[in-house]
Structure 1
C-alpha cells in the first residue's frame, strides 16, 4: 500500500510540475512571435493559426484587433472586417493597454468593421453594422463616424452624379457642425473628391496642413484603389500629380482601372518614380529575389514623366503573393 501511495504521489507531483511549466499564451507573446516571421504573410498566418490558444478574453480581443489592423493595412479588407467584428464580440475593457495594441471599445471596433466593409465593396454588411447599437452611442465621435460612413455607403450605391446630390448636400452641412469637427478633414476630402471644388481643398490646406487628407489633395500621397474612392460617380476631378517619388500606389488610368470582375491582372506594379535611377535600383533588388522586373513609363498631362517598375503576372495568378512573401508591396494592373 505504501508503494502504491508513493507512486500516486509521484504522479501528482509530476503532473503539477508539468502544469506549472506550461507557458500561458498571451497577446504579447503571440504578437512578438509573429513579428519575427520573415514576411507579412507568415506573420498573418501565424496569428490566425494561434489566436485560439489565447484564453484570456482581453488578450484574445487584442490579438483579433491587431490582426484586423494588419490585414487592413495590407488591403485585405474583407478579412479585416471579420476580425474587427470578432474582436468587438469578445467581452472586454478598453481601459488598459494589452500588448501595445491601441485601446478600442466595441463601438470603435464596429466602426472599423464598417470602414473595411465599404473598402471591400460589401455595402450590405456596412449598413448592417451601422444599424447596430453604435447608432445609439453616447460617444459623439462614434455618432460622427456613423453619419459619415452612412453617406459613404449611400455614395457607393450611386449609379450617376445626380444620385450623389443628396449626400453632397448633407456632407456640406456636416462640414459646418461642431459635432462633426473630429471628422472634418475626411468630410472635406470627400467633398473635394466628389465635386472638384477648390474651396474644399483650400480649406484642408489652410486648417489641416499636416493631415493625410491635405497630403492627398496636394498629390503627396495617393489613396488605395478601393470601391469608394474610384467607383463613386464624381464631377471629373483629375488626380493630382505625385510630388513624392517612390509612392507605391498605382497610377489610375482608363487602361488599368478594373471596373468588371471579368478583368484579369496582367502585371503587378511595385513602384513609381520620377528618377529612372531609382526605378533601376528597385529592379535590381527584385531581381536579387528571383523575379524579372521591367520599367515602363507614363507621361502625365502636365508633361511629367514617371517610371513604373512592374512584374508580369503568371497564368496561375500567384506572382502577387510571391512578391509580397518576398517583402515587396505590389498592386495589380488590369488589362
Structure 2
C-alpha cells in the first residue's frame, strides 16, 4: 500500500525530468523510461525488471541507487534500505553516469540505508550499518551524519524520558560545532521535538527559515508514520498536526494516544489537492489513516471516538522489521472521495493511503 507522503529522512531530491537519448541499455535510458511511467509504482516495477539488462557496474549501481530513492519516497523503507546497501556493494566510478542525477559513493549510500532503517524502526540494522567502514570515513559530511544517526538510533531504544538525557546532551553539543553545520537543522528539530524548548524552534526559523525543519515547527507541513519521531519519549510540545486536533472533548488520555503516531514529513493537504494529485498519477485513494499505535487499547480508543462521530473506523495491524507490532486506525474512502475532508471537518487529522 503506497502513501502519498515524503519522508522527513529523505534528504535527496528525486529528479524525474532527464534529457537525451542513448542507443544501449544504460542507467540513463532506464531512469528516463522509468520517469515517464504514469505512477511511481510502475516506475519501481520497471526499474526492478530492468536491472538485469544494465551490464556495467557503475551504471547498475546508479539504477539501484535511484530505485532505492524511489522506494524511500514511497515509504517502503525496509526494501529501500536493502536496495541502498545493494548499490553500495557494487564497485562503480565516482563520476555521475546519469546527467542530472547526483552520483553517490558507497559511504553516502550506506548513510542512506541507515536513514531508511531508522524510518522502518529497525535500529539494529541502523547500528550495524553505522558500525561499518563509514565510522572511519575521512569525509566530514559522512561523519556528521554518522554522529546524528547514532543519536537517533539511541533514541529509538529509549523507554523513558530519562533514557534520552545523554542523547539530548550530545545533540546540544553537536548543534554548536562547525563540523556538524551540515546537519544542524536536523539537530535543532530533534532537540525541539524532544524538549519543547523554544530556543531550538526559534533558531530554526531565524537561521534556516526556508528549511523543511523550520516549516515543521511553524506548522506549515505535517508529519506522518515512521517509528522514530513519535515513539521516542519526549517532553516536547504537541506537534502541529496533533495540537490541531484539539476539540474541547479531547481528553488527556486521548491526546497522549494521538502522540503515539509516528512521523515522516508531508505538505499539509486538502481533500481536493489529494484527489487532484492522485488523479494525475493514476492512483486511487482507498482509505484514510488516522493513527498508528503500539498499544491496541489506544488504537481502540481512537477507533471508538471516530465511530462516535458517525464514521466506520477499522483497526489493522502490521509488524515492522524491529519485530514491533503496530495498530493502524483507518476509514475507507467513500464513492465521492470526500472522506478525508469529512474527517478533518469532524476534527480528525488523517492522510490518504493509495491503491498500488
Contact preservation (8 Å) 1:40, 1:324? no
Please name the residue that 2:27 is paired with.
27
Separation in structure 1 between the aligned mates of residue 340 and residue 289 of structure 2, nearest angstrom: 15
Q: Distance in 1 between matches of 2:130 and 2:326?
A: 31
TM-score by length of 1: 0.72
Residue deviations 1:45-104 (CA, integer Å, cap 9, x gap): 111112121001111111001000011111110011011111111111233342532121
The worse-fitting range, judged by mean Cα deviation, of 87-96 and 119-128 is 87-96
Matched, 1:121 2:121: yes
- Aligned 8 A contact 2:192 2:236 in 1: no
Aligned-partner Cα distance in 2 for 1:155–1:298: 32
Relative to the length of structure 2, the TM-score reads 0.68
Q: Please tell me whether residue 148 in structure 1 is matched to residue 194 in structure 2.
A: no
SS of residue in 1 equivalent to 2:325 = coil
Q: Which runs of 5+ in 1 are unaligned?
A: 1-22, 270-282, 311-319, 326-335
**How far off its partner does 1:308 sit?**
5.8
Mark the CA change 1:251 to 1:158 in structure 2 (over 3 Å): closer, same or farther: same
* CA drift at 1:306: 6.9
Q: Give 1:227's aligned residue.
A: 227
CA offset digits 1:275-302 (Å, max 9, x no partner) = xxxxxxxx8xx75xxx7856433479xx
Give the deviation of 1:213 after TM superposition.
0.4
Higher Rg: 1
For residues 173 and 51 of structure 1, do their structure 2 counterparts lie closer, same or farther at Cα, with a shift above 3 Å needed? same
Greater RCO structure (CA 8 Å; 6+ sep): 2
Aligned 8 A contact 2:30 2:50 in 1: yes
Cα pair 1:295 1:307 within 8 Å, conserved: no
Cα distance per residue 1:158-196 (max 9 Å; x no partner):
001000000000000001111111111000000000000
- The change in CA–CA distance for 1:154 and 1:67 in structure 2 (over 3 A counts) is same
* Mapping 1:43-58, distance limit 5 Å: 43-58=43-58
State the shift of 1:121 in Å.
0.9
Instruction: Give the secondary structure class of the aligned counterpart of 2:330.
Output: strand
Q: Does 1:261 align with 2:307?
A: no
How large is the Cα RMSD of the aligned pairs?
Answer: 2.9
SS at structure 1 position matched to 2:343: strand
Whether the 8 Å CA contact 1:186–1:213 is kept in 2: the answer is yes
Listed as ranges, the matches of 1:59-208 within 5 Å are 59-208=59-208
Indicate the residue corresponding to 1:297 in structure 2. 343
> Which residue of the partner structure matches residue 40 of structure 1?
40
Q: SS in structure 2 opposite 1:297? A: helix
Q: How many residues align?
A: 270
Q: How far, CA to CA, are the matches of 1:299 and 1:89 in structure 2?
A: 49
Tell me if the contact between 1:196 and 1:235 (Cα under 8 Å) persists in the aligned partners.
yes
